[in-house]
Every structure is written in structure tokens, then in C-alpha cells.
Amino acid sequence: MAEKVKSPAEVMKLLPQEDCGECGCDSCFEFALKLVERTTTVDKCPKLKKSALKKIKNMLAPPMAEISFGSGDKMVTTGGEEVMHREELAFFGKTIIAYDVWDTMSEERLVERVNDIASMSFVRFKVQYNVDAIAIRSVSGDPTKFKNTVKKVADTTDLPIILCSLDPKVLKAGAKVLKGKKPLLYAATKDNWEKVLEIAKEYETAVAIFSPLDLDMLGSIAATFAREGINDLILDPGTFCEPDSITETLSNISLLRRACVKAGVKEVSYPVMTVPAVASMSFKNKKMAAHYENYLANLFVTKGVNLMILHFPEIWEFMPVVYLREGIFKHPKLESAIDPDLYAFNDPDEMSPLMVTSNYTLTYGIVSGDLDRYRVKCWMLVIDTNALSVDTAVGSGDFCADNIVEHMEEFDVESKIKHRILIIPRVAAEILPELREALPDWKVVLGPKDSSEIATFLTEEWEKLLAEEGAA
């Protein structure tokens, strides 16, 4: 099967072609273009007929299936990829990050580890990031012991659960406890697939298919499950972490992606998973194993892997993997902007400094990082510059006096701040005259050249500026 070519012109033929603007676009062609770019969704068009809606969905369906497991608001979804390399469009099926527990742990230690995993989080750009799932490994091989462990984990957290065993009896014991919560069974193999298929159908689960070094077998088992109505499938070609075999793992990941998005081989058009946790079995030294696991996890994220099971729930390991994932899976046309607003840093009061910047993600990230690092109390007005950096937005006219004034009015700056001093980036010096003219009651000054100098600048200058304003 040839690679599917998605044409805005073909999508356009199925749209109402009224250019009504109700979808948020100026024209139907712009809407069609955004559909192809996956920066909007087809349901945004209220005038689309059901027959056309179905045709467009089929036309734009990515070659890789989307899969989900878990339940409620903690359900996780991944897959839906359609390119080999993220720069061609974007990666969409964000890597699901899971950490493991096992059924030979004491109840006290089990609950402690589950709570440690579930509570591991951090905030970045106002978004809180948490672990996505928990994998329960059957070390004992005892269905009853595994069932009790699954029950205790399910009572402790509502995170999605991955049931890990190659023994169908063990998997069934765990699936029975989680009926209605759609766990992921890990894993179906060439030896147990018939029994695992029965479990998946009875308890409506997702399934991971494990066939190390045999991609044809992966496809064969997946095709069988799909024919039986089990479509939430994820493929594991094996994780070989030794330095002399890691290239084989990466090669298999790439071969599966190519077969899916380039050749359209339906049997393997599913998300792919890896298990960096195997590093824990390759090193006697715990610290070395943790570092190597982190290395593997970051490496696999760059390849767009859709799910990983890790063993060391440490924040120093979790944070870099998530940071990298958020960058790798960021749509260049959809996620490059911060919402315009008046942001408060470190509990400012009505006499704290007021600064302004653009809504470009990288700019905001650098500036906010420096403000938090140096514990600067201030207000930051983020204006809409069409996601351009300050210097670029000055050149394009998006970072201008009128735009700043409009945002000051929109967010009612004058009611929240008693002083009338506005600090603008030094790279925007050329708009200083027009801004002073637009804000005659304000003292507009240039800030430092670099955001890392903000703390020093305010320490040295802010009290002087307030004193000058008072004198005036």
C-alpha cells in the first residue's frame, strides 16, 4: 500500500465552501489546510454534512492507529502517528511513561512505592506533569498473589495499570480485578496469544504484543487480534539495552515506523513500546543502572516511542524525560504560544515591578525560569505576538505600542498596580517613543539586555524608579 497523500484541495471539495468563519478560520480553504496540518478538528465546522464528515475523517486518518487504556479522566491515549521524522509535520502520540511494582513486595512497601510513583510530579509553564501509568510485574508467577497485588494497587491509585506476565492464568487473575477499568495486558506472544485473546475479549482490555527480533510475528499476532475485534494494540519488538545490541532495538523501532507510515502495512500500524527497565537487570550497581535507564528512556523518546516502562521512580530521571518528550511531541504550529495574560511571579504586590514580553514559548520559558530562579517578585504582561520572539515581533510590528496598550486594558493592569512604571525589553528600544506617547501617564523604561540580569537590574534600579515617580 502506498503512502497516503493528504491534500487540502481534496478536503476543500467536501467542505460547505461558504467561508462563514464559524470554524474560526477566514475561509474554508484555511480550515482545510489546518485539518491537514492537524491544528484543528473537523467537528469545528457546524455546517458539515454527516456523509462529508465521515469521508474527511477517513481521508485524514493517520496510518498508525490510536490506542487507549485506563478509565475515567486518567485514561491515556497514544499513537496516531503519520510521519517518520517529527520535522516533517509533528509527532502526536506522546510517550506514556509508566513505572513498575511487583507482586513479591511487602504490602507496606508496595503501597509506599505506588504512592511515590503517583505523587511524583512537577510544574512547567503552568502545566503539571505526572506519571501516566503503573506496571505490575508478576515475579512470583502465582495468580492469587498477583491478584492481591493488583487489588492493592487499584485501591491505592487510579492511574492506568499495565499487567505484566507471560502466563495467561496470571493475566486473567489481574484482569478480573480490573474489569471495567481497561488495563493493558503485557504481553501476548507466539506461545500464549490464544489464551490472551480470550482474556482481552472477556474483560475488554488493551493488549501489548511481544515478539523480540521477529517483526513478522508481531504483525501476524496483531492481525489476528484485530480480526477478533481487539484494536487497542501496542507492539514490543524487544528492548536490548547492551551497548553492542542497542542499535538492533533502534533499528526495529524504525522498521516498524517505516512499515506503518511509508508502506502502509496495516498489520504493524500500531504504536510501539519499549522497556528501559531492563537496564536494572544489566548492572549490579543501582546508580549505574538508573543512569543507563535514563539514557535509554531519553533515546527512545527521540524516536517517538509511544510507551515506556521504567524501574527507578526518581524525579531526576522523570523530569528530563518529560522535558524532552514535551519538546519532541510539540506541534510547531499549535503549541508555540503562551496564553496572553498578566502573570504574577513570586507573590507580587501592587507596588511590584511590571514588565512586558511576547507569548513565544521559548521567550516565556527563559524569562519565567530566570524570574523563578532569582525569586523576583513582579508582574509580567504577556502579549499576543503571534508566537514570535520579542526581536522578531518588533520587526513584524506585533510587539508595538498599540498591542501593549490593548493588552494592558484587556487585563485591567491599572486596577492591580498602583505605580505607573512599565519595563520593556531592551531589544524593543525602537518602540520606546511611540509607547511613551501612547501611555503619557506612565514612565516607560528599558530593561536589561538579558533576562538573567533582571534580578540585578531591579535590585539596583527599582527603588530609584519608584522614588523618581514619587518626586514627579
Binding-site positions for 5-methoxybenzimidazolylcob(I)amide read 357, 363, 451
Q: What is the CATH number of the domain that holds 240?
A: 3.20.20.20
Question: What CA–CA distance (Å, rounded) separates 145 from 153?
Answer: 12
Question: 206 lies in a domain?
Answer: yes
CB of 64 within 8 A of CB of 306? no
Question: Which pLDDT value is given to residue 26?
Answer: 83
Question: What CA–CA distance (Å, rounded) separates 246 from 453?
Answer: 44
Cell output for 217: 510475528
- In the sheet that holds 273-274, the strands lie side by side as 233-236, 206-210, 184-188, 161-164, 133-137, 96-102, 307-310, 273-274
Binding-site positions for [4Fe-4S] cluster read 20, 23, 28, 45
Place of cell 504577556: 382
In 3D, which of 417, 410, 407 has the Cα closest to residue 442?
417
In 3D, which of 365, 356, 381, 369 has the Cα closest to residue 455?
369
* Boundary-marking domain end, from 269, 297, 328: 328
CB of 217 within 8 A of CB of 196? no
In 3D, which of 244, 246, 369 has the Cα closest to residue 303?
246
Q: What is the CATH number of the domain that holds 18?
A: 1.10.15.40
Q: Are residues 16 and 31 in the same domain?
A: yes
Q: Are residues 314 and 397 in the same domain?
A: no
Q: Are residues 200 and 272 in the same domain?
A: yes
Cell output for 365: 520559558
Q: Are residues 39 and 111 in the same domain?
A: no
Question: 336 lies in a domain?
Answer: no
Binding-site positions read 20, 23, 28, 45, 357, 363, 451
Cell output for 169: 492464568
Coil vs helix vs strand at 29? helix
Question: 207 lies in a domain?
Answer: yes
Question: 453 lies in a domain?
Answer: yes
Cell output for 358: 511576547
In 3D, which of 46, 9, 55, 52 has the Cα closest to residue 24?
46
Question: 43 lies in a domain?
Answer: yes
CB of 367 within 8 A of CB of 453? no
Q: How far is CA 171 from CA 183, 200, 399, in A?
A: 10, 10, 58
Q: What is the CATH number of the domain that holds 433?
A: 3.40.50.11600
Question: What CA–CA distance (Å, rounded) separates 81 from 62?
Answer: 6
Question: 361 lies in a domain?
Answer: yes
Cell output for 241: 539495552
Question: 257 lies in a domain?
Answer: yes
What residues make up the domain containing 182?
Answer: 66-328
Q: Are residues 47 and 169 in the same domain?
A: no
Question: 243 lies in a domain?
Answer: yes
* Number of separate domains in the chain: 3
Q: Are residues 227 and 82 in the same domain?
A: yes
In 3D, which of 163, 183, 170 has the Cα closest to residue 140?
170
* Boundary-marking domain end, from 38, 60, 82: 60
Torsion, CA 431, CA 432, CA 438, CA 439, rounded to 10: 140
DSSP code, position 43: G
CB of 112 within 8 A of CB of 120? no
Q: Are residues 72 and 165 in the same domain?
A: yes
Question: What CA–CA distance (Å, rounded) separates 385 from 357?
Answer: 9
Half-sphere exposure of residue 322: CA atoms within 13 angstroms, side-chain side: 21
Coil vs helix vs strand at 378? strand
Q: Is the peptide bond before 98 cis (omega within 30 degrees of 0)?
A: no
Q: Are residues 288 and 386 in the same domain?
A: no
Give me the tens of pLDDT residue by residue for the chain, a chain 472 residues long.
Answer: 445 557 888 888 899 988 998 898 888 988 888 888 888 889 999 989 888 898 998 888 899 999 999 999 999 999 999 999 887 888 999 999 999 999 999 999 999 999 999 999 998 767 899 999 999 999 999 999 999 999 999 999 999 999 999 999 999 999 999 999 999 999 999 999 999 999 999 999 999 999 998 999 999 999 999 999 999 999 999 999 887 789 999 999 999 999 999 999 999 999 999 999 999 888 889 999 999 999 999 999 999 999 999 999 999 999 999 999 998 998 766 656 788 999 999 999 999 999 999 998 878 888 988 898 889 999 999 999 887 889 988 988 999 999 999 999 999 999 999 999 999 999 999 999 999 999 999 999 999 988 889 999 999 999 999 998 875 4
* Boundary-marking domain end, from 298, 328, 358: 328
Q: Are residues 37 and 147 in the same domain?
A: no
Q: Are residues 103 and 251 in the same domain?
A: yes
The runs of H, that is alpha helices, within 303-357 are 315-328
- How much helix, strand and coil, in percent to the nearest 5, is found in the chain? 45, 15, 35
Q: Are residues 315 and 393 in the same domain?
A: no
Give me the amino acid identity at 138. S
Q: Are residues 311 and 346 in the same domain?
A: no
